[in-house]
Amino acid sequence: MSVHTLEIDGRMVTALEGETILAAAEDAGIFIPKLCAVEGLSAPGACRLCMVEIAGQNKLRAACLTRAAEGMVVRTETSALREQRKLLVELLLAEGNHVCSVCVVNGYCELQSLAAALDVDHVRFTPRYPARTIDLSHERFGLDHNRCILCTRCVRACDEIEGAHTLDVAGRGRTARIITDLAEPWGHSESCTGCGKCVRTCPTGALFLKNKPAAEMKKDSGFIRQIIAARREKIWI
């Protein structure tokens, strides 16, 4: 397998053939903000937070979708990128109803920690305060659309890892929302296996374990990497 050498933020980094800039950067310990990309799942390029500058190209590129190439010169941290990321996080916060203090993942939320890292101390947009619902019909899990940022991690984990494809997205634009089966209450879903992968991959408190007190739910999407590695190495069979 061929290996490419490229420059990210002034550092020489190697990437395997086909590897994305995001993966190469993470392997080298360079942090690029992201909310939708998860190692082991397909990348939809939905959140646009991992946008980077590539020398010689006049467009910003999503690091999660752009393959690393020989001799590429990438910058992940410029004032323009930082301002754009800040703007995106503010738009996400203004779009839903995000009240950290009473959220199950307060302190463990990827949106919250990204907002803190980007110095989002206020939101410049008038919040929409949308009237969204909460689906508590499932025995163990809840889906709070107020906190959903439509990253679709749950949809991809359910489809690509569990193979159930219970979750999907319905609607367009600002009416887009996560649904279970054919937009039925989650508790009525026949395809859901109750595995909980969606809950663990969700970056916010949108998917949660019921009856967990506020700030008591830690999430970690790293388990997907372990499942994939275990399948590849056939360690379970």
Partner 1 sequence: MLTRTVVVDRVTRIEGHAKISLSLNEAREIESATFHVTEFRGFEKFCERRPYGEMPAIMSRVCGICPISHILASSKAGDMLLGVHPPPAAVKQRRLANYAQILQSHALSFFHLSSPDLLLGMDAPAPKRNLFALLEAEPDLLRRGIRLRQFGQRVIELLGGKRIHPSWSGPGGVDSRFPHAHREEILAWIPEALESVSIALQRLKPLLDSFRPEIENMGNFPSLFLATASDSGELEYYDGKIRIMNSAGEVLADFLPERYFDHLAETASSDSYMKAAYYRPLGYPDGCYRVGPLARLNIARSAGTPRADRELAEFRQRARGPVCESFLYHLARVIEMLHMIERIEQSIDDPELFGEPVCAHASLNAREGVGSCEAPRGTLFHRYKVDENGLLTKADLLIATSQNNRAINMAVEQTARHFIRSIPAGGAPADGDLNRLEAAVRCYDPCLSCSTHALGRMPLTVEWFGPDGKLLGSLARGAA
Interface residues with partner 1 (CB under 8 A) are: 101-102, 104, 133-137, 139, 142, 144, 185, 187, 210-216
Query: Would strands 134-135 and 73-75 be described as parallel, antiparallel, or unpaired?
Result: unpaired
CB 13 within 8 A of CB 6: yes
Nearer to partner 1, 139 or 233 (CB): 139
Query: Least distance from C-beta 189 to partner 1, angstroms?
Result: 14
Task: Rounding to the nearest 10 degrees, give the CA dihedral for residues 78, 116, 34, 76.
Answer: 10
Q: Smaller CB distance to partner 1: residue 3 or 102?
A: 102
| 124/210 with CB nearer partner 1 | 210
Residues contacting 108, CB < 8 A, separation 6+: 215, 217, 218, 219
Smallest gap from residue 218 Cβ to partner 1 (A): 12
Task: Find the shortest distance in angstroms from Cβ 192 to partner 1.
Answer: 16
Please, what is the minimum distance in Å from the beta carbon of residue 129 to partner 1? 11
Q: Name the packing angle between helices 79-95 and 110-117 (round to 10°).
A: 140
Helix (H, G, I), strand (E, B) or coil at 74: strand
Shortest CB 13 distance to partner 1, Å = 40
Nearer to partner 1, 29 or 213 (CB): 213
Q: Indicate the residue among 33 and 142 with the shorter CB distance to partner 1.
A: 142
Output phi, psi for 229, to 5 deg.
-65, -40
